[in-house]
Structure 1
Amino acid sequence: MDVEIKGFRVDLTAAEWRKSSRSGPNCDNCVEVAFVGGAIAIRDSKNPTGPALIFTPDEWDAFVGGARDGEFDLV
């Protein structure tokens, strides 16, 4: 199923979902990421048939940079 969003045509049925290597095998609060059609898709690993968030490469870079810089750390 193709979805057009933010100027990308994304086929999530062909997505290869990956979970962080830092996620343990019994971890139940993880997200998975897939790079599809030039976009980045994120989904909840507990609900693989549920909705996915779609990001542009610039949005993804801003998120990863913020996480790397501690922008989202709890005080």
Structure 2
Amino acid sequence: MKSKTFAVLVDGENISPKDFKGVVREVEKNGDVAIQRVYADWTQPHRAGWKEILHETGARPVHQFNYGVNGHLF
């Protein structure tokens, strides 16, 4: 039987970096995670907490400028 494949696309402004690994683990219970991306305005100093998690998980940071309230949502 063919395994399901998932992408984990996260709004890094609305989830804590410490919770990201748990999200990925939950998705992995249902199949393979082929893509991990975290969207955020990476110019903001308070995003520095993501650096270690991104390196550990191999998740790709995707830069999205914040153009106002909810301007970063996709």
Interval containing the TM-score (normalised by the shorter chain): under 0.3
Where relative contact order (Cα < 8 A, 6+ residues apart) is larger, the structure is 2
Larger strand fraction of residues: 1
Per the normalisation by structure 2, the TM-score is 0.26
